[in-house]
């Protein structure tokens, strides 16, 4: 028997005698208008801006949605615009000790376990330079963007992973700043949550729960009102992508990531900024 044939026979024997695990995969087919039919979703910071656009889009695809935030009147108006499939819960993500109580109240309102959580609530003080950062401003941004988001995500994941049949999705709204070098708190908080998303997915995905993030560029919202004015209808902006983005555009990506069409996606930070966070070698010579 030739040596090559002998090696093949030995390899075949070893492989055939090894223990194997069987994996069953169902390829999802989705139909517009019902991508999230029957889902129960919580969107923090859902009363306006990007959070509102996400909640509204989810509801249009069949989900029951809870929008949360600190201003009851803002939340009430948002639900009025979204319709009967939306309701609100006044809550502050910084109140981490009450995260379990908050989820209990949401699930009672939803009529069952929340299968998806969108951690969108966030704050940016736009200091521009590290010398402008105060202790109070630093703490305010980390308290909301990291501490609040982390402990609410933790509570949600523990519930989903302890279910009899674990399932669901956690979606964290971070920012393109998480991939850039930042010496002010906002970008630092987003980098921290990007890291959390990747690690949490490694713990959760095999057990049936997906964890992802979307990282918008400059998107028209209350947070960006100081420097992103498109009141004249012109979205042009002096940056690599060449423009400002609409909340509705980002909401479409969020919808995809919660739908069954993206079952194979987890642990990803999806940038919704047309690659503005990417530095090309010719950037510094662009004006030469």
pTM of the entire structure? 0.87
Q: pLDDT value at position 280?
A: 87
Instruction: Tell me how many domains the chain contains.
Output: 1
Q: What is the mean pLDDT of residues 223-241?
A: 65
Q: pLDDT value at position 81?
A: 98
Start-end of H helices in the chain:
3-17, 49-60, 72-82, 99-110, 135-142, 149-161, 185-204, 247-258
Q: pLDDT value at position 245?
A: 87
CB 190 within 8 A of CB 177: yes
Check residues 32 and 258 and name the one with the higher pLDDT. 258
Q: What is the mean pLDDT of residues 160-165?
A: 96
* CA dihedral of residues 166, 216, 100, 141 (deg, nearest 10): 150
pLDDT(43) > 70: yes
Instruction: Give how far Cα 75 sits from Cα of 67, 121, 141, 231, Å.
Output: 7, 13, 22, 24
The answer to whether residue 277 sits within a structural domain is: no
Q: pLDDT value at position 262?
A: 96
- Beta-carbon contacts of 267 under 8 Å, excluding residues fewer than 6 positions away, are 197, 198, 201, 202, 205, 211, 212
Q: pLDDT value at position 138?
A: 98
Question: 89: which 2 tokens?
Answer: 């819960």
Strands 116-119 and 169-173: parallel
Q: Which of 46-60, 151-165, 209-223, 245-259 has the lowest mean pLDDT?
A: 209-223
The answer to whether residue 25 sits within a structural domain is: no
pLDDT(190) > 90: yes
Q: Which of 27-36, 44-53, 62-71 has the lowest mean pLDDT?
A: 27-36
pLDDT tens sequence across 86-113: 999 999 999 999 999 999 999 999 999 9
The residue range of the domain holding 183 is 32-272
The answer to whether residue 287 sits within a structural domain is: no
Q: pLDDT value at position 286?
A: 54
Across the chain, what does the average pLDDT equal? 89
Q: pLDDT value at position 218?
A: 85
pLDDT tens sequence across 138-154: 999 999 999 999 999 99
The answer to whether residue 76 sits within a structural domain is: yes
pLDDT band for position 25 (50/70/90)? Answer: low
Q: Looking up tokens 């906002």, which residue turns up? A: 186
pLDDT band for position 224 (50/70/90)? Answer: low
CB 144 within 8 A of CB 174: no
Q: pLDDT value at position 147?
A: 98
Torsion sign across C-alpha atoms 212, 216, 221, 223: positive
The answer to whether residue 288 sits within a structural domain is: no
Q: What is the mean pLDDT of residues 180-193?
A: 97
Q: What is the mean pLDDT of residues 222-246?
A: 69
Indicate which CATH number applies to the domain containing 121: 3.40.50.720
HSE at residue 246, side-chain half, CA atoms within 13 A, is 9
pLDDT tens sequence across 50-95: 999 999 999 999 999 999 999 999 999 999 999 999 999 999 999 9
- 186 φ/ψ angles, rounded to the nearest 5 degrees: -55, -55
pLDDT(34) > 70: yes
pLDDT(287) > 60: no
The answer to whether residue 285 sits within a structural domain is: no
Check residues 3 and 53 and name the one with the higher pLDDT. 53
The answer to whether residue 7 sits within a structural domain is: no
pLDDT tens sequence across 241-274: 888 888 999 999 999 999 999 999 999 999 999 8
The answer to whether residue 226 sits within a structural domain is: yes
d(CA 140, CA 199): 25
Share of the chain above pLDDT 90, in %: 73
* Eight-state DSSP code of residue 279: P
């Amino acid at each position: 028997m030739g040596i090559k044939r002998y090696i093949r026979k030995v390899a075949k024997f070893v492989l055939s005698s090894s223990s194997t695990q069987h994996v069953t995969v169902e390829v999802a087919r989705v139909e517009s208008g019902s991508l999230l039919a029957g889902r129960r979703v919580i969107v923090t910071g859902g009363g306006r801006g990007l959070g509102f656009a996400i909640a509204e889009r989810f509801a249009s695809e069949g989900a029951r949605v809870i929008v949360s935030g600190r201003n009851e009147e803002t939340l009430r108006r948002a639900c009025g615009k979204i319709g009967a499939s939306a309701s609100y819960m006044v809550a502050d993500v910084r109140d981490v000790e009450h995260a379990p109580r908050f989820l209990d109240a949401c699930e009672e309102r939803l009529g069952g376990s929340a299968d998806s959580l969108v951690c969108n609530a966030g704050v940016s003080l736009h200091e521009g330079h590290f010398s402008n950062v105060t202790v109070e401003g630093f703490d305010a941004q980390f308290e909301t963007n990291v501490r609040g988001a982390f402990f609410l995500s933790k509570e949600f994941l523990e519930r989903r992973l302890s279910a009899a049949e674990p399932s669901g999705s956690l979606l964290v709204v971070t920012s393109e700043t998480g991939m850039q070098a930042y010496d002010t708190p906002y970008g630092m908080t987003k980098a921290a949550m990007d890291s959390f998303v990747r690690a949490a997915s490694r713990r959760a995905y095999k057990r049936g729960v997906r964890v992802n993030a979307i990282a918008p560029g400059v998107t028209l919202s209350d947070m960006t009102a100081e420097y992103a004015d498109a009141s004249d209808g012109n979205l042009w902006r002096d940056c690599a992508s060449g423009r400002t983005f609409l909340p509705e555009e980002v909401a479409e990506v969020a919808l995809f990531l919660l739908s069954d069409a993206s079952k194979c996606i987890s642990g990803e930070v999806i940038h919704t900024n047309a690659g503005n966070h990417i530095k090309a070698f010719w950037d510094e010579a662009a004006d030469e």
